[in-house]
Structure 1
Amino acid sequence: MIDAKRASVGADPRSRPSSHLEAGRPQAAAPPDHPVPPIADRASAIAPYLVLALCSLVLFRDGLFGGTVFYERDTFLFYAPLGRWYAEQLQGGSLPLWMPLIFGGYPLFADGEIGMLYPLNLLLLPLLPSDGWLTPMRALHLFLAGAFMHAFLRTLGAGRWGALVGGLVFAFGSFFITQIQHENLVRSAVWLPLILLCVERALRTDGWARQRYLVLGGLALAVAALGLHVQPIAMTLLALGLYTTYRVVVGPIAGRPWERVLLLVWAPGLVTAVGLGGAAVQLLPLFELGRTSYRGPGLIYDLATAWPLRWQNLPTVVFPYLFRLDDGRYITLWQQWETFLYVGMAPLGLGLLAVLFARRRIVPFFVLIGLFGLLVGLVEQSPLNVYRLLWGLPGFSSLRAPGRFAYLIVFAAAGLAAFGMDWLASRRRRSSLGAAAGLSILAGAGGLAWLVVAFRTRLLADPVRWNRLIDEEYVGTRHEYAWLEGSMVYEHLVAALDLADPKIALSVGLLAACGLLVMAWALWPRQGAAWATALVTLVAGDLLVFGYDFHPRAPLAELVRPAPVTSFLAEVAGHDTVGADFQPAPIGDAALWTSGRALADSALPALEPNRLMYADVPSLGGYSSLQSQRHFEYWSNADRQKDVLLDLGSVRHVIVADPPTDVALLAGTAYRPHHPIFNGAAANQTGQARFAIEPFRTVEVRVLGTLADGVHLEDGVAVAEVHLVGRDGARHTLTLRAGLDLAENSYERPYIRSVVRHFQPPVAATVPDIDQTGATVQVNLYRSSFAVDPLDVEQVEIRHVQPRGQTRIFGLGLVDPTGTVRSIFAADREKFRPVFRDGGLVVLENGAAFPRAYVVSEAIARRSRTEESALPRLALRPFDAARQVILEDGPFDGLRVVEQLSAWEVGLGGREHLSPGSAPPGPHPRVDDLATDHVRIDVPDGPGGYLVLADTYHRGWKARVDGAEAPVYLANFLFRAIGLPPGPHTVDFVFDPLSLRLGRAISLATLAFALLVALVPSAWSWGGRSRR
């Protein structure tokens, strides 16, 4: 028997704070036999935080000292470019509400993902390089995650060694590591332990001190909510409710017995109220913006349950690299960073010790919250589909990725590992129970090795059966990757499940090492400090190796380096056109974009959304999780058809592949299935399109097309004309007829077939389309061919000639005498002029682009959402974009407007065809961006009408005409407009949303309340002391 005086260092009573959660009645700690000097005591208290900081520095060393970052697509498409722009604004003394460079303008503050009001961003981003903030902030937040968890566990009574292990697991376990590229998610998630710490302190005190702690927890929640990612906040609120309920039920709680019932509601209620109230300045604008996105009405269940945890992928708990291919791809059923679970091998053993042996009232809570997170994350695979219940709650229906509930599982694993380590440290004498536990963990490692060998043997013994099982039970289940095949999974498992594989051997070895260290500690407790150090090193090393190897790494400068085409567009900013003699100036500060925006074709991976931001090039496109539904519909139509919607968006430059890469081939004619070259209607600028090419000797023309809304067309009636114009001016006209060359695109549908009035020619192919419900469907293409007299064609003109319905042409091929086909694409439109080529890309200057601001004479009112959307009216109904604007968001009191329905009946006064590319006549207003949130427009003298600004609409924009307020209308489906009286005017648009002002007032009131709670009792106490 070992004397108590020779107990291990890890069991020093000073290493564990007193806790109300110890088994049995709380007891005062016995004084140590050899008092620890205060300096040494303080050093030992600081040491765990230094270890956590060191681990964070080691993990992020490449980024901190070499500029290399862990990345995924969101890193270089969203957080790096938008964060750089935000940091530059802060360093310039501005807190921007509006981002002018994406989506034709976007309320980036309301979006919240950059965390513009997040306190650490406000404090540190002005001090860090605008292009170098990413890694320091990541390193800081993982340190904070570990530090907060350590402090929380110490408050619960864990010793320093146990709390350190818990902090390591929480900070460097799979959740924060796999999600590190989602900066906002990490910012919001690290604060949970601090919030629960404050609640725990509140439950241990009574009176006014309790309210102080609850308010402090609410302020921590407010900081997390300013992060801003909604899902960690939702999980934090669930954890808050579960923790408070558990603690109140299990006890002990300071105060009177009846207070328990009140605390069940009061404690989480006050924390939540202060937290959400303090962050209202961010949350209310976010709510307003979210309602305009596809998430606004809530997600359907199938979409909400994308990226769940799957039991088939839970082996990552012990073999984190099992599903990773040699090329870095993962064959998990869903995206790996959303559905991954790994907390280290030693923490699994330590957690088992806590469950079996640690007599702490708090241990069952960690078990319960871990099981809760697993049940939610597994969705329908769990015995009880808890996620479906949550999906019905307000707010939860707008969230996706239930696999992120791994957050609570990792949190639980951290707590259990901490108390398992703490139980081990409390063994002051040689412990046969501890030795048996270590031996069990060692046996578990042996069992794990046996399972690897046995399973691989079975895979090799019957490949046919296992391939079938994998096809049925793995690939046959709902999953994300279209390229995933059963044979691929089988072959990879056979290769990976091998004890000779270093990564498999590492997992087995780590668990075995944990068992050996537990046995050693139990048998030789005098060396407790050495065993504790070894176990901490084992945990840290395991998690850091995992964290360093999970994401790809690259220099940030390379990830966000502008492509040559992007640099070119930045250089031509401010020039109305680009002539052959244009000499680009050196890239400097972003110039005011007076010549319009750019739009990269959606089929260009090298210019994915937001990549134009690398050189501050404004774009009609963009990427954000809260893109408005209106913008998506407008952008997708403009991108698909390159017609009047592109022009109205003030898109001066279009970047496309040269030649197109996403083509299909039919009868030698190339076409883009998602991109018709013509989608025209009568009395609209889309009804006529001209294409200019180099002279091409033509003896045959092949057309691939279809009809929409043409069921009324009689068989044989002329629908559209194709005019061929030769180099010598000679013209040849081809007529496309219903029932012979074209037919209704959804002819087979019963409700169409019953009313259609023309025959159906043979279907040549199908192309994707979107039906009225938003679902993707396949529609018909029809092929026709026309022989023509030899003609050197240099211009092709397509016209829709019927007053109703639309003609859609996807492919048009000119055939020469040798059979060579010259296919026409949207890039051949006459309005486009190539101005730059590089690496298979071409920049087209759009000569038909409208100016950013212009004046029209007539407005059409869409008074109700029950009327047909303005979008088809712009492109497929009678509408003259050069002199009309469609207004929404009335009332329209005092305006002379044409009612939408009557305007459709009247049409455009017999003008069946409008010239394509007809912009309003000049002179045009001058636009100056005085700030990101302030646009000034000088309108020249004129007869008045309606000023249209081709910047994205938001109800937060206010307008003043010569200092007098004027209503701002939603114009042309996406943009802004105001009414103008005759004469010259100065118009100011200022972004000042009501949601921000209201949220600011609530946040200030909440902070005032928090200050009152903090100061008033102190003032009373001070006054009492003075009187005494």
Structure 2
Amino acid sequence: MVTFFAPWNTMKFPGWEHGIPNKPIGLDNLNLFYPYKQLSIDLMKIGIVPFWNPYNFTGSPLMADFQSAIFYPLNIFYLLLPMIDAWSVMVFIQSILAGIFTFLFLSSLPIQKTAAIFGAITFAFSGEMIVWMGDHLVASHTILWLPLILYAIERRRLILCVLALTFAIFAGFAQPLVYVFVVSFVYALYRRAPWQIYSAFLLSIGIGAIQLLPTFELFVLSPRRTGDVGYLFDQFLMPLSHLISYLAPDYLGNPATYNYLGGGYHESMLSIGVVPFLLIFLVRRNSTVKFFWIVAGLSLLLGLNLPFVRWFYDLGIPLVSTFVPSRIFFINSFALSVLAAFGLHELLAKKSFKRLALLSILCLVVLGIWYLIKAKEPVMQRNLILPGVILACTVILTATKRWIGVGLFVLMIAGQLYFGNKYLAFSDRQFVYPSHPVFTFLQEHAGFNRFWTYGDGYINANFATQYRVYSPDGTDALFPARLGELFYATETKGQYAPSPRIDARIGRAREGESMLTNPYRLRLLSIVGAKYITDWSEGAFLPPPLFTPVWQQEQWHIYEYRDALPRAFLTSDFVVEKDSQKILDKIFENSGKKIVLEQDVKVDTISTGSAVINKYLPNTVSIDVDTQDNTLLYLSDTYYPGWRAYVDGAETKIYRANYAFRAVVVPKEAKRVEFYYKPNSFRWGIIISLASIIIGFFWWHRYER
């Protein structure tokens, strides 16, 4: 973190004068999941429901953001332990739970316990589980419930099935959740489970409504529903040559060692280990094996760049056509881990040593040919050696026969430990969101004003959440699309365009670019109240009098943007437009406190008065007003369903202003305007969740009898 991100990457830490050892992984954990978890847990500890995050996107839903995983039962660790300790527990417990649940499922099938243990370890420490542990912790916590669900289906355990499905919902990653539900449901059909098991799927969705309804509301209002996702298929449908990574996961290098030649390493992981991969070809056909061969085959095909696969994703199937295709490799890894367990069972039962030896030799030949023909770069050649050594050791083990079971365990564990140690990063506690003078200044002086960053001094916007300062920008899978459209207009010279898929960002200024060259950016910074601009340069490109230096330490500067408007102000100067492009035109034509509404209101032509924020909490904003005229109060916070406004205790309508923000009519002599976030989606979610729990209790009682 302190190596890659501003402002820490310019700091010198005592005892690390020559730099801090690092691996460029886990960026989404640092950028998204850790700050969101910290904020939500901190709010829960002081009795505030974590509905809203006011620190990014000019305010955005927090609980409705599926990845915040606020209702995940394992969050108990965050409530009991310090944040960094709880995070570490969640990282390590992922592999433990995945292993235990996979062992339970495999033990319910007709294979030896030794083989069940082998399959459990294979999945728990598969390439997918390791790399997603380091990059998207919520994703691996979602998928780990799959084997427990299958175990519950196999054993006809209704309550366990409901709980495991519900935990998967609350774990917080939508795409693997869909895969978990589909595979589990099809498995129930394949095993001809009783109807009560199918009811578990409906019950879990009902119980999860407290999360699913707010998330659906946000999804409908986000760029995910309408954005162009063609680039996802171009980037994350893997070529056939990628199949070599079953044997050599680091054939193209590894980002942790700064020699990766591909793209999206954690998005394209296939490896389950060399030894487990060999064992899948030893399995004997039975109904369970046939099912997992089909699952493995389909989950591989849907991640490959083949014409009919691209056609399938282009059909526009809801949700599926917005997915990153290669993430289905989660399911491939699990299915192959199950098959590897069956393969070891077959090897130990039938003594199929010659077949294993022949398979190992065949794979050695494939690696050799690949080395000679395809491996042009030194990193490619180097990373084919270790798989070759494991294959050679496997051939030798088949000759010993007596110790082959132990030997295969050792080879499998050693290979995956090497892979995990190579990829995963461990850090000293002092480097987890350390303090920095830039953030200290903003915390002490910015108040409710927002900050923005210029050029090489770009500070990742989502760090604002961690440090409880305010940024208009943000990066996330779900956020209000209108905010993204408005901000993106600063890069399209005021022309309407769909919002980018994962971020809302006022157009960045390149180092050396004068801040005066983009009037669209200046206007947006003004209306969102971005009063402070951070910069890591000499500051010649933020000229006075528009930008006034207020702080400096070494090359870090902070400037005050003199045209920044207050976060809340009174105005009667407005125009009405309904068309998106015309609204944008008016916003960028206007100056000062003139705003654009989408509905007409009756206020005095000229008004005076003041508005001062007296309380600003995630779900509550209170503003003292003083006016002798009927006027408008403008608040540069995101307009979003669920917010309610009250003027001196009487509810009033919130109007959408300046494309994405809020305004209310304030009658003369009013004293206070209050905003409360009370989402109906959450209220209905609670009702449905409670009703589902009650129904589930009676169904279970009847089922048990």
In 2, distance between residues paired with 1:960 and 1:886? 22
1:94-114 CA distance string (max 9 Å, x none): 331111111121111111212
In 2, distance between residues paired with 1:640 and 1:843? 27
In 2, distance between residues paired with 1:326 and 1:244? 39
Bigger relative contact order, structure 1 or 2, given CA contacts below 8 A and separation 6+? 2
- Which of residues 513, 532, 554 is equivalent to 2:393? 513
Contact 1:655 1:844 (8 Å CA) reproduced = no
C-alpha deviation, 1:637, in angstroms: 4.9
Gaps of 5+ in 1: 1-66, 203-212, 254-262, 460-488, 525-529, 574-592, 643-653, 664-670, 687-821, 899-907, 910-919, 1022-1028
Question: How is 1:520-539 mapped onto 2 (pairs within 5 angstroms)?
Answer: 520-521=400-401, 524=402, 531-539=404-412
Counterpart of 1:16? none
3-state SS in 1 of match to 2:53: coil
Question: How is 1:279-358 mapped onto 2 (pairs within 5 angstroms)?
Answer: 279-297=208-226, 299-304=228-233, 306-324=235-253, 328-329=257-258, 331-354=260-283, 358=284
In 2, distance between residues paired with 1:511 and 1:681? 61
Counterpart of 1:996? 682
- Which of residues 111, 115, 118 is equivalent to 1:158? 111
Higher strand share: 1
Contact 2:57 2:472 (8 Å CA) reproduced = yes
1:522-542 CA distance string (max 9 Å, x none): xx4xxxxx6433322322221
- Which of residues 327, 336, 348 is equivalent to 1:425? 348
CA RMSD of aligned residues (A): 3.4
In 1, distance between residues paired with 2:368 and 2:24? 35
Residues 1:537 and 1:312: Cα distance change in structure 2 (over 3 Å): same
- Which of residues 117, 122, 125 is equivalent to 2:71? 117
Counterpart of 1:917? none
In 1, distance between residues paired with 2:162 and 2:678? 28
C-alpha deviation, 1:377, in angstroms: 0.4
Residues 1:870 and 1:850: Cα distance change in structure 2 (over 3 Å): same
Counterpart of 1:704? none
Equivalent residue letter for 1:190: L
Contact 1:88 1:130 (8 Å CA) reproduced = no
C-alpha deviation, 1:450, in angstroms: 3.6
Counterpart of 1:886? 596
- Which of residues 625, 631, 636 is equivalent to 2:483? 631
Contact 1:178 1:337 (8 Å CA) reproduced = yes
C-alpha deviation, 1:561, in angstroms: 2.4
Equivalent residue letter for 1:960: Y
- Which of residues 511, 520, 536 is equivalent to 1:661? 511
1:107-140 CA distance string (max 9 Å, x none): 111112120111111x211112123332210111
If you compute each CA radius of gyration, which structure gives the higher value, 1 or 2? 1
Contact 1:597 1:619 (8 Å CA) reproduced = yes
In 1, distance between residues paired with 2:311 and 2:130? 24
C-alpha deviation, 1:157, in angstroms: 2.3
C-alpha deviation, 1:640, in angstroms: 9.5
Question: How is 1:140-539 mapped onto 2 (pairs within 5 angstroms)?
Answer: 140-180=93-133, 181-202=135-156, 213-214=157-158, 216-248=160-192, 269-297=198-226, 299-304=228-233, 306-324=235-253, 328-329=257-258, 331-354=260-283, 358-380=284-306, 384-385=308-309, 388=312, 392-399=316-323, 401-427=324-350, 431=351, 434-444=352-362, 446-448=364-366, 450-451=368-369, 455-456=371-372, 458=373, 490=376, 492=377, 495-496=378-379, 498=381, 501=382, 503-521=383-401, 524=402, 531-539=404-412
TM superposition score normalised by structure 2: 0.85
Residues 1:988 and 1:200: Cα distance change in structure 2 (over 3 Å): same
In 1, distance between residues paired with 2:276 and 2:318? 36
3-state SS in 1 of match to 2:639: coil
Contact 1:851 1:924 (8 Å CA) reproduced = no
- Which of residues 525, 547, 560 is equivalent to 1:845? 560
1:291-347 CA distance string (max 9 Å, x none): 222112254434455322222222221122221179834545431110121111110
Counterpart of 2:30? 76
Equivalent residue letter for 2:595: V
1:971-996 CA distance string (max 9 Å, x none): 22121111111103222211111111
In 1, distance between residues paired with 2:522 and 2:56? 30
C-alpha deviation, 1:504, in angstroms: 3.2
In 2, distance between residues paired with 1:306 and 1:293? 22
Equivalent residue letter for 1:237: F
1:357-411 CA distance string (max 9 Å, x none): x353211111111100111001436xx4277258532222232x21111111101
Counterpart of 1:608? 460
1:690-733 CA distance string (max 9 Å, x none): xxxxxxxxxxxxxxxxxxxxxxxxxxxxxxxxxxxxxxxxxxxx
In 2, distance between residues paired with 1:605 and 1:537? 48
Contact 1:95 1:116 (8 Å CA) reproduced = no
In 2, distance between residues paired with 1:194 and 1:99? 33
Counterpart of 1:463? none
Counterpart of 1:875? 588
Equivalent residue letter for 1:600: T
Contact 2:313 2:320 (8 Å CA) reproduced = no
TM superposition score normalised by structure 1: 0.60
Residues 1:326 and 1:394: Cα distance change in structure 2 (over 3 Å): closer
- Bigger shift: residues 345-354 or 505-514: 505-514
3-state SS in 1 of match to 2:82: coil
Contact 1:278 1:1007 (8 Å CA) reproduced = yes
Contact 2:57 2:474 (8 Å CA) reproduced = yes
Of all paired residues, the percent bearing the same amino acid is 26
1:563-587 CA distance string (max 9 Å, x none): 43222212224xxxxxxxxxxxxxx
Q: In the alignment, does 2:452 pair up with 1:599?
A: yes
Contact 2:274 2:412 (8 Å CA) reproduced = yes
Contact 1:69 1:553 (8 Å CA) reproduced = no
1:864-894 CA distance string (max 9 Å, x none): 4x46442321112xx4542x43223x6x6xx
Question: How is 1:893-912 mapped onto 2 (pairs within 5 angstroms)?
Answer: 895-896=601-602
Higher helix share: 2
Equivalent residue letter for 1:896: K
